[in-house]
Amino acid sequence: DAGVTQSPTHLIKTRGQQVTLRCSPKSGHDTVSWYQQALGQGPQFIFQYYEEEERQRGNFPDRFSGHQFPNYSSELNVNALLLGDSALYLCASSLVAGSTYNEQFFGPGTRLTVL
């Protein structure tokens, strides 16, 4: 049973560029959440996708956008990269469950460096 996978593992970009990160959820999961983890900090929620729609969003600017495909995989896009966007980007998958929390399983992350 494959867990959550993310690609690429590492990425180096320059300021102003755009980046796309990819995530495949754990088998059987239909919900994907994205988190940003800066060095020395805990992960911060970016947004969550379910049924190909953004279901919740954290306090991130519109430069951060996403997409979910019919096979439940997801992309995170960041436009006009800033130095402060350098971080580990984590994808987590789960089963949507209404008011009941279901465990989120994290992928290994994509480490983005913006120069």
Partner 1 sequence: RKEVEQDPGPFNVPEGATVAFNCTYSNSASQSFFWYRQDCRKEPKLLMSVYSSGNEDGRFTAQLNRASQYISLLIRDSKLSDSATYLCVVTRDTDKLIFGTGTRLQVFP
Instruction: Please report, as ranges, the residues that interact with partner 1 according to CB under 8 A.
Output: 31, 33, 35, 40-45, 48, 56, 58, 90, 92, 94, 96-104, 106-109
Residue 4 CB, nearest approach to partner 1 (Å): 8
Q: How far is the CB of 66 from partner 1 (least distance, A)?
A: 14
Given a contact cutoff of 8 angstroms between Cβ atoms, the answer to whether 12 and 115 are in contact is yes
Cis ω for the linkage preceding 8 (within 30 of 0): yes
Nearer to partner 1, 80 or 87 (CB): 87
Whichever of 17 and 103 has its CB closer to partner 1, that residue is 103
Q: How far apart are CA 21 and CA 44, in angstroms?
A: 16
